[in-house]
Structure 1
Amino acid sequence: MRESRYNIWVDDGTQSYVYNGFSGKVAAVPTAQREPIVRFLAGDDAAPADPALLHALVDGQMIVADGFDELSLLRRRYALTRRNADRFHLTVVTSLGCNFDCPYCFEAKHPSLLDDAVQERLLRLVDVKLRTVRALSVLWYGGEPLVGLTALLGLSDELLARAAGAGASYTAAIITNGYLLTEPVARQLRGRGVTAAQVTIDGPPEVHDRRRPLAGGRGTFATLLENVTAVADLLDVSVRVNLDAENVGQAPRLLAILAANGLAGRVGVHPGHVVTPAGNTRAPSARYRAACLPRAEYAAAEQRFFDVAADLGFATPGPPGPVGAPCTAVRDNELVVGSRGELYKCTETVGDGSEVVGNLLNWPQAGDRLMKWLTYDPFADAECRACPALPVCMGGCAYHAMDGRLRDSRCSTFRFNHEEQVRRLITRRARRPAPAGS
């Protein structure tokens, strides 16, 4: 027997805890038992290791057989989830136009809307997929998807009806800048299966308005705060705060404003890492001059963000759990559909003509651009194979990994601060009220 290569240990006085990335489980270990366990695993049968504790560690996969090949099983998990034939997922760009003018945006936008011909071809593809899948999910995306609200609502009605007719489940979410996400719009979305919305707010008013103004320059913070407050009980709202060197120190002020407006416990909050892909030279990001944070520095900022958020009453995540193939880019039953019917594999490539993998007119038609995604193999990377974050990251962002200029930002932040993330989980559990009657 031996310890799993994916164990993360943290100590808390007389108690130690071990989190296993392969299983996603955590176990408490009295500190006095750590040395006996080490000795027992080294072959000392006389070591006073607690048998019940050893069984618990085996159940949690913190202790595995000597011949247990965790890496091979991770490969298998990756392959099986990459080729999930039971679920079809679409990211649909209803409009590549946008009412915002964000200087770090990675999309080269144009004022296109999802027209009737593209919608018809999309529904034809869905009809084919629904013959074999049991679940259909959609992420509404842009540009700004609510600029294309008419198409979004009409297409939602069709997708809901088709999924119901095929006996398949249907789920939907939206990523929106939030400016058009009024309460009436949220009710329309909710009535069409959209249950979750991500809205980006980049700091307190003067910071956010500089970074995410309307096209034309007018600020947007006040409207977003009003909208998020109005829809927080209709949709599962997550407020994203995109961080770079220009605004990283302002996140606590924003969180305090959100809390003061009664949003703690009503919305989620999480940071995002501003990265400026160099591939699309027509995108605003190609000319963005603020300093992006190195991934390790961003990981530290992420932890500070969650510390402040937790103190203000916002729910914060524990360490990430185990995953398979991590995103649409590398899963073969998922597509990103552009507003003109063009197809992509990664949301970060939307609007970049060099990354188009096909078109709804002739799909499926395999080509080199598609196969680079579907043959991407994080296990070919020696650094990934040796990383403690591999089970919860599975190579991270394939798009960034395949571009040497972006490689620093490919990784999960768990790579850099796994102990801190596990410690947060333990602290949160310790603060949890005991069940009634205990």
Structure 2
Amino acid sequence: MKKYKLSMFNITKEIENDLLIFNSLNRGIVLIENRFINDFNNIKLTGTTDNIELLNGLIKQEMVIENSINEINRIKALDKLERYSTDNLSLVIATTFSCNFDCWYCYEKGLNNSFMTENIQNSISDFILSKSKTLNKIKIDWYGGEPLLNIKAIEQISENILSNISKDITFEASIISNGYLLNKEVAKKLAKYHVKKAQITLDGTKKIHDKNRPHINGKGSFDKIIQNIKEINDIINVIVRVNLDKNNVNYFDNLLDYLEEEGLKDKIFIYFSIIKDPNPINEQLCYKTTEVSDLEINLMRKIMKRKFKLATSLLEGNGYCTGMNNNFYIIDPAGDLYKCPMQIGKKEDSIGNIIKGIDFDKNAKWLAYDYFLDSKCKECNLLPLCRGGCPSEKMKNNSNDCFTFKYNIKERLNLFFESLS
């Protein structure tokens, strides 16, 4: 008789005397009724059970595996397949570092405000087309600064791609915008170029938002953004991002109230980002990583209880860093290439240039990053969700705070179960 073991990537949570199991490798989730929990425990203790139906069900979900299977080897193989895949190309393209807002927490302050030239745009198009023979999918995230200040670059690059790639290749795009210029006419233009979603930031209700995110002319931006969201939500999907600090977090409910009153609850997705990195001017407003775990759960519960739509899955966490993938690049307005959005514009962190080529050794550092060398990561049942966390922090500072879902995954499972009822 074959002997089995429980997957090392199972996370269990007791729910009303039953047992909820989530597998972080395949994202499977199963609820075992109380009367079958002893059978489940028998598998853990003896490697088998008389309850063949339960055993086969858990084997199918890969929550129970044969004793001979090495799951670390399995995730290593999956990781390599993903890192070196030539099927997908994913780019983040900053059309300009220029911005029409003056946000206090912006990490791009002081960067050159130049716009991407036509020469750089053509080089990006050539780069994409040179890889297209093996591609099934091209994904572009338009970025800035405020990318719509240079919408011509979006049009030019998109036109070049769509005119020259095979119809068998899926091309999709998204945009991160402050929303001020994103009116109905612009949204229609973006939709023509396969932009499916726009992330737009609101930092609270009008008074708070206008203080945090004023227009560079000193005036507020809130009313214009709300007007635009109302105009465009039936053209492209709108994700409302809310940056939260200790000053505005208590007003999050007020923002939800306002969005509901304006008839937007069913028309947008909500994504919140808790400001953790200390800003030297407003350090007292930022959260420490250790403070964020419970706050995340409270905010997600509020969103779900009020029937708003979450932009991210409860059980996906922060996701792993795609900078480790060979076919992922961030391109700034000068054509310089990066692997991390927090490094964009910092020449010392560039791995090459779209015209001059890629620096093999700098790129290799990212591709060769091995989170399996960290024993803490190697033994963690959440490893498939984060793949070792932030490689940039690890490589630069040899420090790597675990993502918050390590500390609140069981509360997330509770929320998931609540969402089913």
Q: TM-score, normalised by structure 1?
A: 0.89
Alignment-derived partner of residue 77 in structure 1: 78
Is 1:24 aligned with 2:27?
A: yes
2:211 equivalent in structure 1? 210
1:123 aligns with 2:117: no
Q: Residues 401 and 179 from structure 1, CA distance in 2 versus in 1: closer, same or farther, beyond 3 angstroms?
A: farther
- AA partner of residue 222 (structure 2): F
Q: Does 1:421 align with 2:421?
A: no
Question: In the aligned structure 2, how far is the partner of 1:372 from the partner of 1:291?
Answer: 35
Secondary structure of the equivalent of 1:259?
helix
Change (3 A) 1:345 1:20: same
Residues 220-263 of structure 1: CA deviation (Å, up to 9, x unaligned): 12222221122111111111112232322222221221122122
Q: Judging changes above 3 Å, is the alpha-carbon distance between structure 1 residues 192 and 291 closer, same or farther for their aligned structure 2 residues? A: same
Are 2:247 and 1:246 equivalent residues in the alignment?
yes
What RMSD in Å do the two structures reach over aligned CA positions?
Answer: 2.2
Runs of 4+ in 1 over 4 A off after TM superposition: 285-288
Q: How is 1:247-326 mapped onto 2 (pairs within 5 angstroms)?
A: 247-276=248-277, 285=279, 287-316=281-310, 317-321=312-316, 326=320
The residue aligned with 1:152 is 154
Q: Distance in 2 between matches of 1:145 and 1:264?
A: 26
Kept after mapping to 2: 8 A contact 1:256/1:312: no
Cα offsets for 1:83-112 (capped at 9, x unmatched):
111111221111110111111111143321
Kindly tell me: are residues 382 and 218 of structure 1, through their superposed partners in 2, closer, same or farther at Cα, counting changes over 3 Å? Answer: farther
Q: Distance in 2 between matches of 1:260 and 1:74?
A: 46
Does the 8 Å contact 1:173/1:194 carry over to 2? yes
CA offset at residue 288 of structure 1? 4.4
Measure how far apart 1:39 and its partner are: 2.7
Structure 1 unmatched runs, 5+: 278-284, 432-438
Cα drift, residue 403 of structure 1: 4.2
Shift of 1:217: 2.6
Partner of 2:11: 8
* Identity, % of aligned positions: 27
- In the alignment, what sits opposite 1:434? none
Letter in structure 2 aligned against 1:163: I
CA positional deviation for 1:418: 0.8
User: Partner residue of 1:379?
Assistant: 372
Higher relative contact order (CA 8 A, sep 6+): 1
CA distance in 2, matches of 1:58, 1:116: 55
- In terms of mean alpha carbon deviation, does 373-382 or 79-88 score higher? 373-382
Correspondence 1:54-93 to 2 at 5 A: 54-93=55-94
Query: Which residue in 2 is equivalent to 1:395?
Result: 388
Amino acid aligned to 1:217: G
Partner of residue 236, structure 2: 235
Aligned residue for 2:165, secondary structure, equals: helix
* 2:241 maps to amino acid: R
Q: Cα distance 1:261–1:30, how it changes in 2: closer, same or farther (>3 A)? A: same
Q: Distance in 2 between matches of 1:320 and 1:402?
A: 27
The one-letter code sitting in structure 1 at the alignment partner of 2:162 is L
Specify the alignment match of 1:219 in structure 2.
220
Within 1, Cα distance between the matches of 2:358 and 2:271?
36
Displacement of 1:144 after TM fit? 0.8
Instruction: Tell me how far apart the structure 2 counterparts of residues 226 and 286 of structure 1 sit (CA, whole Å).
Output: 34
Q: Which runs of 5+ in 2 are unaligned?
A: none
Equivalent position of 2:360 in the other structure: 366
Work out the number of aligned pairs and report it: 416
SS in 1 for 2:101: coil
SS at match of 2:264: coil
- 1:64 deviation in Å? 1.8
Partner Cα distance (2:287, 2:382) in 1 = 20
Q: TM-score, normalised by structure 2?
A: 0.92
Q: 1:54 to 1:209 in 2, by over 3 A?
A: same
Cα 1:327–1:414 shift into 2, 3 Å: same
Conserved in 2, the CA contact under 8 Å of 1:104 and 1:276?
no
Q: Structure 1 CA distance, aligned partners of 2:75 and 2:399? A: 25
Equivalence for 1:281: none
State the secondary structure of the residue aligned to 1:95. coil
- Whole-angstrom CA distance in 2 between matches of 1:275 and 1:351: 21
C-alpha deviation, 1:310, in angstroms:
1.1
AA in 2 matched with 1:9: T
What residue identity is the alignment partner of 2:413? V
8 A Cα contact 2:91 2:139, kept in partner: yes
Q: Letter of the aligned partner of 1:13 in structure 2?
A: E
Residues 302 and 159 of structure 1: is their aligned pair in 2 closer, same or farther, counting only changes over 3 Å? same
**SS at the partner of 1:42?**
helix
Q: Does 1:97 pair with 2:98?
A: yes
1:133-144 to structure 2, matched below 5 A, reads: 133-144=135-146
How many angstroms does 1:74 deviate by? Answer: 1.1
Q: Give the whole-Å Cα distance in 2 for the aligned partners of 1:286 and 1:351.
A: 20
